Amino acid sequence: MINLDLAKAALAEDLAGGIDITSVATIAADAQLQADFVARESGVVVGIEMAKAVLNEAGVDGIEAFIQDGALVNSGDVLIRVSGNARAILLAERTALNFLGHLSGIATLTSQWVKATADTNCKIRDTRKTTPGWRELEKFAVAMGGGTNHRMSLADAALIKDNHIAAAGGVKAAFNAVRSAFPTAPIEIEVDTLEQLAEVLPLKPDLVLLDNMTPEQCREAVLLVAGQTRLEASGGITLDKARSYAETGVDYLAIGALTHSAKNFDIGLDVRSK
């Protein structure tokens, strides 16, 4: 996936209307360079297309990618080989690595959650807790890691949360208002207790979000719903508890940490000896 506008904006941010004074001072304008983008750890790599876009935008003319977005790599694997103007390569270096490291971190973390819940019917799903301007890319990285995307924007579906319920004067009032205004929109309702779940079931929501419930409560919720709607568990779920939640029978685990807390994936640029 490529967001060319973001690639251009990132390079422009790095230059801030000026020049790369370090490279201009130390490297001849016509100097040539060969270098490799190399994985320093194992995981799922995403951002190859974005890195290529950055390199192109910076004026690098020799770009050879050895993998595609979503590939599983090992430490030491060469991801992209570049050759061309030395100043252009070094201008693009950090920006390309920023995209590769952040997006690969998301994909790798997602793959760990997916692995932890393997052989269950539960899917790992992201949230809107994304970096402003990066949502499309970050959700793409989740998908490349084996996860499932929730709504991309507020216009995609309704998610009735506690503040909506309070403002509307009750869960039924909030639900009926959404259904009246947007008859075809999917509706998800957030509940904090099993009593609230029982209250909203007759409304026939498309999905119910079980907020901050324990695995035991989620299991009870699955029995209570008995297939009438889909269930999503969210709030305070950590990777070491992922399987205990997935085995309750809920349909989704909504994990904001996939995008807001993923560790940067370690990738470096190594200059090749001539």
Number of domains in the chain: 2
The active-site residue, picked from 115, 123, 128, 129, is 129
**Does 154 lie in the same domain as 173?**
yes
Give mean pLDDT, residues 30-49. 98
**Does 125 lie in the same domain as 173?**
yes
**Does 223 lie in the same domain as 143?**
yes
Looking up residue 61, the CATH number of its domain turns out to be: 3.90.1170.20
pLDDT at 274: 59
**Does 213 lie in the same domain as 194?**
yes
Asked if residues 80 and 267 have their Cβ atoms less than 8 Å apart, the reply is no
- pLDDT tens-place string over residues 7-39: 999 999 999 999 999 999 999 999 999 999 999
The active-site residue, picked from 69, 93, 126, 190, is 190
The active-site residue, picked from 77, 126, 138, 211, is 211
Is 161 catalytic? The answer is yes
**Does 143 lie in the same domain as 74?**
no
Domain that includes residue 15, residue range? 4-111+262-271
pLDDT at 109: 98
Is 211 catalytic? The answer is yes
Q: Is the pLDDT of residue 264 over 80?
A: yes
**Does 132 lie in the same domain as 12?**
no
| pTM of the shown model | 0.95
pLDDT at 61: 92
The active-site residue, picked from 161, 179, 241, 243, is 161
- pLDDT tens-place string over residues 55-65: 999 999 999 99
**Does 107 lie in the same domain as 132?**
no
DSSP H helical segments within 79-232, as ranges?
86-116, 135-144, 162-168, 171-181, 194-200, 215-225
Which residues neighbour 30 within 8 Å (Cβ) at sequence distance 6 or greater?
Answer: 85
The active-site residue, picked from 81, 94, 128, 151, is 94
**Does 266 lie in the same domain as 226?**
no
**Does 167 lie in the same domain as 60?**
no
Is 190 catalytic? The answer is yes
**Does 249 lie in the same domain as 138?**
yes
**Does 82 lie in the same domain as 62?**
yes
- pLDDT tens-place string over residues 248-259: 999 999 999 999
Q: Report d(CA 217, CA 9) in Å as an integer.
A: 46
**Does 249 lie in the same domain as 169?**
yes
Is 129 catalytic? The answer is yes
Instruction: Tell which residue, 200, 188, 243, 252, has the closest CA to residue 225.
Output: 200
Asked if residues 200 and 219 have their Cβ atoms less than 8 Å apart, the reply is no
Looking up residue 206, the CATH number of its domain turns out to be: 3.20.20.70
